[in-house]
Amino acid sequence: MTDSGKHILIVDDEKNMRHMLQIMLSKEGYLAETAADGIEGLARMDEMDFDFILCDIKMPRMDGLAFLKEARERHPEKTFIMMSAYGTIDTAIEAMKLGAYDYIAKPFKSDEALLTLKKAEERERLKEENTRLQDRINRIEQKYSFGNIIARSEAMARVFELVDRVADHKTTVLITGESGTGKELIAKAIHAKSSRSERAMISINCGGIPGTLLESEMFGYKKGAFTDASKDKPGLFEEADRSTIFLDEIGELPLQLQVKLLRVLQEEEITPLGATVPRKINARVVAATSRDLKKEVEQGRFREDLFYRINVMTIDLPPLRERRGDIPLLTGHFIETFNKKLGKNIEGLTSSAMAFLLAHSWSGNIRELENVIERAIILAGNNLITPSELPSSITSKKELMPSEGQGRSLSIKKETRRLETELIRKALDLTGGNRSNAAKILEISRPILISKIKEYGLE
């Protein structure tokens, strides 16, 4: 006897059959209820929650197929097992089409009914397990990714946690990091997760517009403010009212505009060129820079009061060389992207090509990796990217192999152990401790790698 605890509804117009099934299933640990026809069965299902429904097909008032159709509409998630002494293949097929899990022909042995229920239980268990796994995957993806940002490293997990915390506040955020680390993507993530996301985020590159034009772009102007001002023009800050404005490369903002920006942040108002009366705005400011603003302040190129005003909450993006574990993930994403864009069918990289990517310093960060993968896909002669398709700046560096030394043992066994230890350490360093990626680089299976890590005391 099992202790299933599963709740079963038996729908059958034969009293003896209901009684027999109820006793048999109760002995097996099931909680069995009964109904004499389809109409009573629907009423019982509306009153109680059942895991499985055993239903006869030929019944008065409402037959089994009519019951199945109606019950499936009301309770689509339930598992139905149909029974009939008048069964044909066509009847079984019709029941399956209407959503039945299985079909049993009467008369049947008790073992047959129990086996069918056990199969149904196993299916439900697998469905629940799959749902739990999918939920877990979704939670992991939510924790380690935002929109178009691809990352699984702990360094980026901390960044995403900060994004979550600051997103729905009006606090000014300063995003720092080297060029190509994805500062604008983080700004978009902050905006997307905020209550301002219904309106478009406004972006401006402070270093991409000449200083003479930047003021009018940011704050707008009135008709007649200068020679070509033939009509009023709202600035980007005004367009960002009740939304977010992203000031990229704020370290390149001219000093005279830094004064105006400081007033906007302090007073929450702008004065367009040629205007005498300021306008109130409600714009959330997110700024980004690849410069060291503290040094810019020390050297007189950036106002100290503005620095402290925008540096309320800082999110520092780590360079790619400090999150090497993300390289295989990013590479896979770029391969998928450029396969679609270029009409190619690249499956991945050889282990030696991946080793070069993991060893590279990536001064251009994610943008540089993206360009390298696009170039490699264009040049690839087959479905795998090899070192020959990578730029010489990446492959010309010396292999990360142990150097020759004095006093080495001539024992093959000892030297093999030493060599394997060094290679495993190097692979683990390059992948940030990711054993699966390290195994790929070393061209051995993950279980063998784990075994050698234990053997050599590298845990």
pLDDT per residue over 15-73, tens digit each? 989 899 999 888 888 899 999 999 999 999 989 999 999 999 888 889 889 999 999 99
Domain boundaries along the sequence of the chain: 7-132, 147-318, 321-395, 412-455
Phi, psi of 344 (to 5 degrees): -110, 175
Q: Which pLDDT score, from 0 to 100, does residue 142 have?
A: 54
Percent of the chain residues past pLDDT 90, beyond the cut: 44
Assess whether pLDDT exceeds 60 at residue 141: no
Mean pLDDT of 426-447: 82
Assess whether pLDDT exceeds 90 at residue 226: no
Q: Which pLDDT score, from 0 to 100, does residue 138 have?
A: 60
- Distance in angstroms (rounded) separating the CA atoms of residues 376 and 374: 5
- Distance in angstroms (rounded) separating the CA atoms of residues 330 and 189: 18
Q: Which residues contact 10 (CB under 8 A, 6 or more apart)?
A: 18, 21, 22, 25, 32, 33, 34, 35, 54, 55
From the list 255, 219, 256, the residue with the least C-alpha distance to 234 is: 219
The third-level CATH classification (topology) of the domain covering 412-455 is: Arc Repressor Mutant, subunit A (1.10.10)
pLDDT tens per residue, range 62-121: 988 999 999 999 998 899 998 887 767 777 888 888 888 888 888 888 788 888 888 888
Q: Which residues contact 361 (CB under 8 A, 6 or more apart)?
A: 321
Q: Which two tokens stand for residue 141?
A: 């993806």
The third-level CATH classification (topology) of the domain covering 321-395 is: Helicase, Ruva Protein; domain 3 (1.10.8)
Cα distances (angstroms) measured from residue 213 to each of 43, 273, 279, 293: 74, 11, 20, 23
Q: Which pLDDT score, from 0 to 100, does residue 145 have?
A: 52
Q: Reduced to 3 states, what is the DSSP secondary structure of residue 374?
A: helix
Q: Which two tokens stand for residue 290?
A: 């690849």
The yes or no reply on domain 7-132 and CATH 2.40.50.140 is no
Judge whether 7-132 and 147-318 match in fold: yes
Please report, as a single letter, which amino acid is at residue 220.
G
Mean pLDDT of 135-153: 62
Q: Which pLDDT score, from 0 to 100, does residue 146 have?
A: 56
Q: Which pLDDT score, from 0 to 100, does residue 415 have?
A: 62
Phi, psi of 246 (to 5 degrees): -105, 115
Rounded to an integer, what is the distance from CA 135 to the centroid of its chain? 12
Q: What is the number of H-type helices and E-type strands within the chain?
A: 19, 18
pLDDT, mean over the chain: 86
Structural contact between residues 272 and 236, judged by C-beta atoms closer than 8 angstroms: no
Mean pLDDT of 273-291: 92
- Distance in angstroms (rounded) separating the CA atoms of residues 309 and 311: 6
Q: Which residues contact 167 (CB under 8 A, 6 or more apart)?
A: 189, 190, 191, 193, 194
- Distance in angstroms (rounded) separating the CA atoms of residues 385 and 370: 14
Structural contact between residues 87 and 55, judged by C-beta atoms closer than 8 angstroms: no
From the list 398, 330, 406, 335, the residue with the least C-alpha distance to 364 is: 330
Counting Cα atoms < 13 Å in the Cβ hemisphere of 37 gives 8
Location of structure tokens 């590279």: 360
Sheet of 244-248, strand order = 202-205, 244-248, 284-289, 173-176, 313-316
Rounded to an integer, what is the distance from CA 18 to the centroid of its chain? 50
Cα distances (angstroms) measured from residue 51 to each of 30, 33, 122, 286, 363: 10, 11, 12, 52, 58
Q: How confident is the model at residue 284 (pLDDT cuts 50, 70, 90)?
A: very high
CATH code for the domain defined by 147-318:
3.40.50.300
pLDDT tens per residue, range 175-190: 999 999 999 999 999 9
Phi-psi region of 282 (alpha: psi -120 to 50; beta: other; left: phi over 0): beta
Structural contact between residues 438 and 452, judged by C-beta atoms closer than 8 angstroms: no
Structural contact between residues 188 and 194, judged by C-beta atoms closer than 8 angstroms: no
